[in-house]
């Protein structure tokens, strides 16, 4: 494995009694990278994160954080990790300030710089106004932010977030995502989720696991290209005969959806421009032109159900 990697996971396995939760998982995380960890429920995402952060002992394999083995020198290794578990570990009876101060002390932030660290992580997470409030009285979204604030208070090299947007409303989700983007600019982030669009919004690279095995690993660009189907949907007020549409350059195949709508397939370059031109010339009354995407759910289901999804081919790019 790469020795410069910030996080190196080598042949990691983890059993619950006879139950195998992670099976020979290996991956690494470079500095400044945001890694999306994707998988259906029960795929072993949370277990992997718990092992990486030292909350569970691995059955086999090693985890190296910034050169320190999490089992052999846990204290040094943990110093470099900030971890937000599935349930944020917050003390409901404390105020945000009290709680963050306690976390800073636990993470051995020097006494003189505690106030600074608190300010910084609070402004990162948009908690400046609620510092004096009891955590129990905050909304779920704010509690989640407090959870993220405790994970970054000691300025760790790696931030590990386990499903950070679960149970939040769309606005809060957007805020948390932009927060993750900001974090990714300064640190390495591992983010687990079962929501594909989340990975797309925030990650540089994605790992998909299923039943504890790595089944897909690629950069986010590869994933995006994978998504684009080579077809567009066009709708006309005065629909032309199919033959006339097929006559336009670049269009390979035309399929009628209803009276006004057609699905136009093509090979590489999009025929949209010439289609619009022809439509104007012949007064077809084009009123809709939409590129088709494979739905994210389709892709996810395809990847997590297909045994032979391309780990090998994709690994080279990742």
Which residues would be at the binding site for other proteins (CB under 8 A)?
Answer: 16, 53-57, 74-76, 78-79, 81, 83, 85-87, 89-94, 98, 102-103, 105-108, 150
Q: How many Cα atoms within 13 Å fall on the side-chain side of residue 159? A: 29
Tell me whether residue 32 or residue 74 sits nearer to other proteins (CB atom): 74
Smallest distance from other proteins to CB 89, Å: 4
Residue 273 near residue 259, CB atoms below 8 Å:
no
Q: Find the shortest distance in angstroms from Cβ 52 to other proteins.
A: 10
- Residue spans of alpha helices (H) in 135-285: 140-152, 170-186, 196-202, 220-227, 242-247, 272-282
CB of 14 to other proteins, least distance (A): 10
CA 163 – CA 84 distance, rounded (Å):
9
The closest alpha carbon to 272, from 214, 317, 230, belongs to: 230
| Nearest residue (CB) to other proteins, 93 versus 269 | 93
Shortest distance in whole angstroms from residue 69 CB to other proteins: 14
Q: Name beta bridge partners: 60.
A: 13
Cα distance between residue 121 and residue 154, in whole Å: 9
E-only strand ranges, 211-307: 213-219, 228-236, 251-256, 261-266, 286-293
Which H or E element spans position 160?
strand 158-162
* Beta carbon nearer to other proteins, 76 or 274: 76
- The smaller minimum CB distance to other proteins, of residues 55 and 313, is found at 55
**Shorter beta-carbon distance to other proteins: residue 77 or 208:** 77
Q: How far is the CB of 105 from other proteins (least distance, A)?
A: 5
């Amino acid at each position: 494995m790469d020795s410069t990697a910030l996080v190196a996971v080598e042949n990691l396995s983890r059993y619950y009694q006879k139950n195998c939760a992670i099976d020979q998982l290996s991956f690494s995380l470079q500095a400044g990278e945001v890694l999306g960890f994707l998988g259906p429920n029960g795929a072993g995402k949370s277990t992997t994160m718990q092992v990486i952060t030292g909350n569970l002992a691995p059955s086999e394999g090693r985890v190296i954080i910034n050169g320190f083995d999490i089992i052999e020198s846990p204290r040094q290794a943990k110093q470099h990790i900030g971890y937000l578990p599935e349930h944020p570990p917050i003390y409901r009876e404390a105020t945000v300030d009290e709680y963050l101060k306690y976390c800073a002390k636990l993470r051995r932030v020097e006494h003189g710089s505690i106030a600074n660290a608190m300010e910084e992580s609070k402004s990162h997470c948009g908690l400046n106004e609620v510092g004096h409030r009891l955590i129990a009285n905050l909304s779920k979204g704010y509690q989640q932010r407090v959870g993220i604030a405790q994970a970054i208070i000691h300025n760790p090299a790696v931030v590990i977030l386990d499903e950070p947007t679960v149970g939040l409303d769309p606005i809060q989700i957007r805020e948390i995502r932009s927060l993750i983007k900001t974090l990714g600019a300064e640190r390495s982030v591992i983010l687990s989720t079962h929501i594909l669009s989340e990975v797309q919004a925030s990650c540089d690279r994605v790992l998909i696991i299923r039943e504890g095995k790595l089944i897909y690993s690629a950069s986010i660009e590869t994933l995006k290209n994978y998504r684009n189907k080579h077809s567009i949907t066009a709708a006309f007020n005065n629909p032309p005969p199919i033959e006339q549409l097929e006559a336009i350059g670049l269009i390979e195949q035309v399929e009628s959806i209803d009276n006004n709508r057609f699905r136009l397939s093509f090979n590489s370059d999009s025929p949209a421009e010439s289609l619009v031109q022809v439509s104007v010339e012949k007064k077809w009354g084009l009123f809709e032109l939409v590129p088709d995407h494979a739905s994210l759910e389709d892709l996810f289901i395809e990847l997590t159900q297909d045994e032979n999804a391309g780990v090998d081919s994709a690994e080279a790019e990742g």
